Amino acid sequence: MTFTSDALAGRVALITGGGSGIGFGIAKAMAAAGAKLVLASRNAERLDAAVKELTGLGAEVIAVQADVRNYEAVEHAVARAVEAFGSLDIVIANAAGNFVVPAAEMSPNAWKTVIDIDLNGTYFCARASHAALKASSFGGRFIAISTTRALEGWPGCAHAGAAKAGIMSLIRTLCGEWGKDGIRCNTIAPGAIGDTEGVKRIYEDAGRKELELSSIPLGEFGRTADIANAAVFLCSDAGSYVTGADIVVDGGRNRSRSSTGVAVPAK
């Protein structure tokens, strides 16, 4: 147990992409800290499996099938949270899509697809949840998951890098606009998180694992639990004076890169 079991007691959290990877890690940690959960994503089977596992751990959780590219679907997920649990206090805009393709070979629709999921989907979540978060008796929390690659350039992932940079700008704007409504808006920037499909695909399957590890001062990939711990902190009373921040959780990787974004080997 990293946080007390009542650190998020009484709060209701909507987590997009909460059925897998980092989103599922956040769901587990938030449930252990006493939050009620709404998981939203496209794949009903994946959602059902996640609900089953979380329920088995004692969580109060529902799932809503929703594609974050569809504003009405996002609105519906927010409405279901309030209907099922009486409030919505926390939104984690975590859903994302990404694949490696050089910018010069990327189809216009490939670009649009990732921008739609990551950037537009995050805005849709914010827009649809504003009124509910403003009404939160705890002070609403809106967290978007970005990446340390957002501002350094991301060869092979121009679409995701641009979308995540847009998300960082959006969150800073929301911090300025929504502070008066008591809503804290932050990004969490994970480095390479080892227990996720993405890192398996982008680094391990591509034979880049050792190279990537050599650029991380702490010498190991992160875990979904590391990102979840940052999220629980931001959403608890302990995080109540933090807004407009980008919490980097990356084992120091972004500090060991040159100004061109190319990894500077640690040894």
Among 244, 91, 246, residue whose Cα is nearest residue 176: 244
- Under the binding rule (CB under 6 A), the answer on residue 128 touching ligand NAP is no
Residue 22 interacting entry, from ligand COA, ligand NAP, none, C-beta within 5 to 8 Å by type = ligand NAP
Among residues 49, 73, 84, 101, the one that binds ligand COA under rule CB under 6 A:
101
Give yes or no: 146 in active site: yes
Q: How far is the CB of 89 from ligand COA (least distance, A)?
A: 25
- Under the binding rule (CB under 6 A), the answer on residue 122 touching ligand NAP is no
- Under the binding rule (CB under 6 A), the answer on residue 145 touching ligand NAP is yes
Among residues 10, 139, 198, 261, the one that binds ligand NAP under rule CB under 6 A:
198
Report d(CA 196, CA 239) in Å as an integer: 26
User: Total binding residues for ligand COA by CB under 6 A?
Assistant: 11
Residue 190 interacting entry, from ligand COA, ligand NAP, none, C-beta within 5 to 8 Å by type = ligand NAP
For ligand COA, the closer CB: 36 or 69: 69
> CA–CA distance from 87 to each of 21, 25, 26, 199 (Å)?
26, 22, 19, 35
List the helix and strand counts (H, then E) for the chain: 9, 7
Which one from 20, 28, 136, 164 is the annotated catalytic residue? 164
Report d(CA 260, CA 1) in Å as an integer: 40
Q: How far is the CB of 82 from ligand COA (least distance, A)?
A: 27
What 8-state DSSP symbol labels residue 107? Answer: -
Burial group, residue 260, by CB count within 10 angstroms (0-12, 13-18, 19+): exposed
Q: How far is the CB of 40 from ligand COA (least distance, A)?
A: 14
Strand partners, 222: 193
Residue 227 near residue 168 (C-beta atoms within 8 A):
no
- Under the binding rule (CB under 6 A), the answer on residue 98 touching ligand COA is yes
Backbone angles phi, psi at 92, to 5 degrees: -115, 105
Provide the CB-side half-sphere exposure for 238 (13 A, CA).
Answer: 12
- Token readout for 127 is 């827009």
Strand, coil or helix: 187: strand
Among 144, 235, 146, residue whose Cα is nearest residue 191: 146
Report d(CA 21, CA 226) in Å as an integer: 12
Q: What does the per-residue mask of binding to ligand NAP show for 73-112, with x meaning CB under 6 A?
A: ---------------------xxxxx--------------
- Token readout for 91 is 């939104």
Q: How far is the CB of 68 from ligand COA (least distance, A)?
A: 11
Which one from 41, 87, 136, 146 is the annotated catalytic residue? 146
- Token readout for 55 is 């329920």
Sole window of 107-115, 124-132, 167-175, 243-251 interacting with ligand COA (rule: CB under 6 A): 107-115
Give yes or no: 164 in active site: yes
Q: What does the per-residue mask of binding to ligand COA show for 182-201, with x meaning CB under 6 A?
A: ----------------x---
For ligand NAP, the closer CB: 46 or 134: 46
- Under the binding rule (CB under 6 A), the answer on residue 68 touching ligand NAP is yes
Q: Which residues are catalytic?
A: 146, 164
